Chains A and B, each alone.
Chain A
């Protein structure tokens, strides 16, 4: 014990010296950095007038019924009406909710819906994860989630994804699959608010071409000219 105690005064002084020096050095370094940082000049802009930048919106048009007057053959004209209306039917806004599986797609790229949702018994989602968990009666700008009071999937018999326009046409005309008479079909495309959503999808979604009115007129003209389907 004595042997260990003897050098204490020396160690003590040495420790003190080393300690104070390192404290001083560290303080100096920290202080210098702090001062340099504090005095580093910066100027920040103040608010001032700036023009709002509006993004040009691209709107796709539909051809009107009269644009097809040049086609003399009623059958050909009927097909032409349906093909023009097909630009709406096969638009992502419509196809996304006419999937051929139980899972809808989303976005213009028609990617599978995230999260994983299924149609459920009524097309409104599984009983434990309903469409209405996220989708409300209106598009909601704050969350970017689209909405409609009727938000749900088309029945599986009305799957359009992966179908030719001709097949979609025959599907529409088949009451066992479309569950609609021709009158009901016309009323559906002209008046239905979920169909109408396709032209008011909210957010930065590309709306379906034309207007619901123009689309309805094309369908009406197609039905009136014999409802001929493309191949």
Chain B
């Protein structure tokens, strides 16, 4: 069957089984490989994308359920939050192996869009669905605080 998708503002027509996880559509059909496969069972968060601005695990969304939403991947993420988050990630050298970081950043962006001044507890709540095997958690936390401070200054 063929499905219409809107990804990063672009319309795509995808021919595949409707029960294919969105993750594999993004990666294998649309070549948007910034979104990673880490577990396939919504435990690690490496595949996090935004559907209508909400963070979602793309491994756990069937293609057929993604047709009506605006999908944003790490490649298409834009805006103030994205800019400050990525800058903070670089400033603190957050990544080690880096494999989980697309997902971490998509979750962090959504967090800052909901909450401009997150506390440590807010960060725990928003980010504990994203695993980092290199355990870069402390730097992620500091980078989110830095990004929030940047947002506070710019608005």
Taking Cβ atoms with an 8 Å cutoff, the residues of A that contact B are 114-118, 126-130, 132-138, 140-145
- Confirm or deny: B32 has a beta carbon within 8 angstroms of a beta carbon on chain A: no
Interface residues of B (CB under 8 A from A): 19-21, 40-43, 45, 48, 54-57, 59-62, 65, 107, 110-111, 114-115, 122, 124-126, 128-129
Do the beta carbons of A143 and B128 come within 8 Å of each other?
no
Residue from B40, B43, B48, B114 within 8 A of A142 (CB atoms): B40
Among the listed A129, A132, A138, A143, which residue makes an inter-chain contact with B129, where contact means beta carbons less than 8 Å apart?
Answer: A129
Chain A neighbourhood of B40, CB < 8 A = 142-143
User: What are 20 A-B interface contacts by the 8 Å CB criterion?
Assistant: A115-B43, A115-B45, A115-B129, A127-B114, A127-B115, A128-B107, A128-B115, A128-B125, A129-B128, A130-B54, A132-B54, A133-B55, A133-B56, A133-B57, A134-B57, A136-B61, A136-B62, A140-B21, A140-B60, A143-B41
Contact of B126 among A129, A132, A136, A140 (CB under 8 A): A129
* A129-B125 CB under 8 A given contacts A145-B42, A145-B60: yes
Residues of chain A lying within 8 A (CB to CB) of residue B41: 143-145
Closest B residue to A147 by beta carbon equals B60
State A127–B114 Cα separation when bound (angstroms).
Answer: 7
A57 to nearest B CB, angstroms? 22
Contacts of A132 in B (CB 8 A): 54, 56
- CB atoms of B125 and A118 under 8 A apart: yes
Q: Is the CB of B114 within 8 A of A128?
A: yes
* Interface contact B43-A114, CB-CB below 8 Å: yes
**Interface contact B59-A142, CB-CB below 8 Å:** yes
User: Which residue of B is nearest A130, CB measured?
Assistant: B54
A28 to chain B: closest CB distance in Å? 41
B residues within 8 A CB of A127?
Answer: 114-115
Cβ contact within 8 Å between B114 and A140:
no
A138 to B110, CA, bound (A): 24
A-B pairs, top 10 by smallest CB distance, nearest first, are: A128-B126, A134-B42, A143-B60, A115-B129, A116-B128, A145-B60, A126-B125, A128-B111, A115-B128, A145-B42
Residues on A with C-beta less than 8 A from B57 are: 133-134, 143, 145
A153 vs chain B, min Cβ distance (A): 15
Are A143 and B21 in contact, CB atoms less than 8 angstroms apart?
yes
Q: Which residue of A lies closest to B42 (CB)?
A: A134
Least CB separation from A116: chain B residue: B128
Looking at A126, A141, A144, the one whose CB has the most chain B CB atoms below 10 A away is A126
A138 and B20 alpha carbons, distance in the complex (Å): 14
Complex CA distance for A129 and B129, rounded to whole angstroms: 8
Q: Whose C-beta in chain B lies nearest to the C-beta of A135?
A: B60
Q: How far is the CA of A196 from the CA of B16 in the complex (A)?
A: 30
Q: Which residue of A lies closest to B19 (CB)?
A: A142
- Not counting A133-B56, A143-B59, A145-B41, a sample of 12 additional A-B residue pairs whose C-beta atoms are within 8 angstroms of each other reads A115-B43, A115-B45, A116-B124, A129-B126, A129-B128, A133-B48, A133-B57, A137-B65, A138-B62, A142-B20, A143-B41, A144-B41
Chain A residues in 8 Å Cβ range of B56: 132-134
Residues B62 and A142 in contact, CB atoms below 8 Å apart: yes
Measured between beta carbons, the chain B residues less than 8 angstroms from A142 are 19-21, 40, 59-60, 62
